[in-house]
Structure 1
Amino acid sequence: MTEARGKWGWFVALGILFIVLGFGALSNLLLATIATIFYIGVLMIIAGAFQIVHAFRVKNWRGFFLWGLGGFFYAAAGTTIVLDPAIASLVLTLILAVCTIASGVMRLLLSFRAKGDRGWGWLFASGLLTAIAGLAFLLGWPLNSLWLLGLLLSIDLVFQGCTLLGLGLQLRGTR
């Protein structure tokens, strides 16, 4: 923690940078969505390539073929995402909506099991809000696939930035 205190300015600077990037992404949600899609695609290509390399490094293992094939499909999916970000945005937004609804429903079910326990209402409220958000995502699909992922990226960058800024300022004050 002592080392972090001495670097408080870096936390503040990084926090400000994230906030600026978040508001920059917020100013053009379509571009932010495309950047998010490309980021996911490139990461999948890299991960698939590493999985293929790993398969060849353990080629005497009986799972070699399936491991390598899995890496190939992962890299192929990433390549498809990079080559057609519009379709990828449609699919990923739909998956996001369905998974958000499912997450909300699971929390609701958990809250009913915890009914009577202290704090169960918070779990219920969280599940209800998450399910409603997922439903809103689903009802707005496919039009929201042009901006929703960019909006989520923007919000995440701003929140991360605020966290880093607050942490840096707190570290400065604890000298």
Structure 2
Amino acid sequence: MSDTPNLSVTQTVREKWGWFLALGIMLVIGGMLMITLPLASSIAVTLVIAAVFVVGGILQIWHAFSVTGWGGFIWDIATGAIALVGGIAVYFNPVVGAAALTLVVAAVLLAQGIAQVLLSLKIRPHDGWGWVLAAGIISAIAGLCIWFEFPTSAVWALGVLAGASVLFNGWSFIAIALAARAAGKRTAS
């Protein structure tokens, strides 16, 4: 049973490579649209996050009342209420929500970049440490660019980042599809 699932996955991908290719193409087109319409994409991302906060807040409050004896009741209620109110506030003013999320993204990219640079220096004698260093520098620069361009960056940052993610996801499906097609042709020969 250990090798069978991998073989069936490989076989399925080979047989259905066209579906993988179609999905990849649609994701690439969607990612390019998100990048070319960054404000709409940023607001859409913000509204999705607002919905997650609202649902998460409601579930956390429900959880607090469902397991009252565990000692975290007050904290469950508080964090659930904060998420619920925050989600509602972002939903009713997604532009302000996008601005706040943009600052969070900038801070995370900067902190992650600094951490990766420090990690690269720690693993320096090992192969590939330069890639970790480069990734850290790029992440830190991206965070600083978003931060120093604020509030203008709130118009484009979330949409462009989400679009780039969808675009690269699409390219990965295209690569899988084309590799499976090529492997299928080799096997058939």
| TM-score for both structures, normalised by structure 1 | 0.90
Distance in 2, Cα, partners of 1:108 & 1:100: 12
How many residue pairs get aligned? The number is 175
Higher CA-based Rg: 2
Match runs of 1:11-22 below 5 Å: 11-22=20-31
Matched, 1:53 2:75: no
Amino acid at match of 2:151: P
Amino acid at match of 2:137: L
Match runs of 1:24-35 below 5 Å: 24-35=33-44
Distance in 1, Cα, partners of 2:154 & 2:144: 14
Distance in 2, Cα, partners of 1:121 & 1:101: 18
Match runs of 1:108-147 below 5 Å: 108-147=117-156
Distance in 1, Cα, partners of 2:125 & 2:180: 40
Amino acid at match of 1:168: A
Instruction: Provide closer, same or farther for how the CA distance between residues 133 and 79 of structure 1 changes in structure 2, counting only shifts above 3 A.
Output: same
User: Shift of the alpha carbon at 1:49?
Assistant: 1.5
Matched, 1:3 2:12: yes
| TM-score for both structures, normalised by structure 2 | 0.84
Q: Which residue does 1:40 correspond to in 2?
A: 49
Match runs of 1:42-121 below 5 Å: 42-121=51-130
Distance in 1, Cα, partners of 2:93 & 2:29: 28
User: Shift of the alpha carbon at 1:118?
Assistant: 2.8
Instruction: Provide closer, same or farther for how the CA distance between residues 3 and 57 of structure 1 changes in structure 2, counting only shifts above 3 A.
Output: farther
Higher deviation after alignment, 121-130 or 33-42 = 121-130
RMSD value, Cα: 1.7
For structure 1, the 5+ residue unaligned runs are: none
SS in 2 for 1:174: helix
User: Shift of the alpha carbon at 1:31?
Assistant: 0.6
Query: What CA deviation, in whole Å up to 9, does each residue of 1:118-174 have, x standing for no partner?
Result: 332222222122211211111111111011111111111111111112212323333
Instruction: Provide closer, same or farther for how the CA distance between residues 8 and 52 of structure 1 changes in structure 2, counting only shifts above 3 A.
Output: farther
